[in-house]
Amino acid sequence: MARRLFIAGNWKLHKGPEEAGALASQLAAKLPTDGAIDIAVFPPFISIPAALRALQGAAVDVGGQDLFAQSEGAFTSAVSGPMLRQAGCARVLVGHSERRSLFGDTDADVSAKLRAALDAGLLPILCVGETLEQRDAGAHVEVVQAQIDAALAGLAPDQLSGITLAYEPVWAIGTGRTASPDQAQAMHAAIRAGLAARFPAFVAQETRIQYGGSVKPANAAELLAQPDIDGALVGGASLDADAFARIVEAAETVSR
Ligand code: PEP
């Protein structure tokens, strides 16, 4: 069975409610509604309701950029999986490199958040990726595999069907530097081989692996044409409705 391509936009700390509503309205007007691929956007928490309102009737999911592993309690400022669901989110990012490096999310936190997302009925995108030093040391496959192993440990194969992986080399995020299609494909193939070695065959065949790291309209088609790249997690270019729509368009022309 062919894997449906999946394009997601991570708005990071951009777009308050008013601006998020405006961007989402532009996306609603520009993005296809044929459902040929999956599309999602991840606004800041506070802008989720505005984005959802503007995207009503559009074929675009809205998700949170993070979640806390506990459902409720004395955890000032935290947002939980059930709260995201209640707000109307279908998806959530887990383990983004900015969460890991700037907010101290450890592999154990990422694993707990992944479980919390699944328990809440959210579809997580699990982000993994190596630093430039790790790549230069030739340790990139090992590092990414260890991140995946830590996050997925103890999950049953059927729980993995709701999870999308996003390979995002840290050195390519927000830097304008993209992994070459060959570099990205090699890592995606290694990730898929790792899944095949650890889980029943259908998991490796069906799990979608997005690429993330300075994806733009100019490089999207080449990356998405790689056989193990099943979509993109887009940061900067997702803040421009036209650029994001062109990336979606590139995905729609990829035949699988
Ligand atoms: C990201 O935030 O996940 C990302 C890949 O950002 P950018 O596209 O800006 O590199």
Listed as ranges, residues in the chain with pLDDT below 50 are: none
Give the CATH number for residue 188.
Answer: 3.20.20.70
Q: Which atom of ligand 1 is nearest to the CA of 10?
A: 2
DSSP line for 187-240 = HHHHHHHHHHHHS-HHHHHH--EEEESS--HHHHHHHHTSTT--EEEESGGGGS
Per the structure, how many domains does the chain have? 1
Domain assignment present for residue 90? The answer is: yes
29-54 in b/e form (b: 16+ CB < 10 A) is: eebbeeeebbbbbbbbbebbbbbbeb
Expressed in angstroms and rounded, the spacing between residue 173 Cα and the centre of ligand 1 is 5
Catalytic residue, candidates 133, 168, 188, 206: 168
Query: Within 10 Å of residue 136's Cβ, how many Cβ atoms?
Result: 11
Domain assignment present for residue 200? The answer is: yes
9 Cβ inside 6 Å of ligand 1:
no
Whose Cα sits closest to atom 7 in ligand 1? Answer: 235
All residues at 6 or more sequence positions from 16 whose CB lies less than 8 Å from its CB, including other chains: 44, 46, 47
Domain assignment present for residue 11? The answer is: yes
Question: Tell me, what's the pLDDT at 28?
Answer: 98
Most informative mutation of 233, 240, 244 for ligand 1 (most atoms within 8 A of CB): 233
Expressed in angstroms and rounded, the spacing between residue 74 Cα and the centre of ligand 1 is 32
DSSP line for 44-66 = -GGGHHHHHHHTTTSS-EEEES-
Domain assignment present for residue 219? The answer is: yes
Confirm whether 140 is a catalytic residue: no
Domain assignment present for residue 149? The answer is: yes
166 Cβ inside 6 Å of ligand 1:
no
Domain assignment present for residue 150? The answer is: yes
Domain assignment present for residue 1? The answer is: no
Expressed in angstroms and rounded, the spacing between residue 59 Cα and the centre of ligand 1 is 22
Question: Tell me, what's the pLDDT at 174?
Answer: 85
Domain of residue 18: give its range: 6-255
Lookup result for tokens 């992986």: 165
The dihedral through the CA atoms of 51, 52, 58, 61 has a sign that is positive
Question: Tell me, what's the pLDDT at 35?
Answer: 86
Question: Tell me, what's the pLDDT at 49?
Answer: 98
Confirm whether 96 is a catalytic residue: yes
Question: Tell me, what's the pLDDT at 256?
Answer: 76
Expressed in angstroms and rounded, the spacing between residue 9 Cα and the centre of ligand 1 is 8
Whose Cα sits closest to atom 1 in ligand 1? Answer: 235
d(CA 218, CA 220): 6
111 Cβ inside 6 Å of ligand 1:
no
Question: Tell me, what's the pLDDT at 177?
Answer: 85
Domain assignment present for residue 75? The answer is: yes
Whose Cα sits closest to atom 6 in ligand 1? Answer: 235
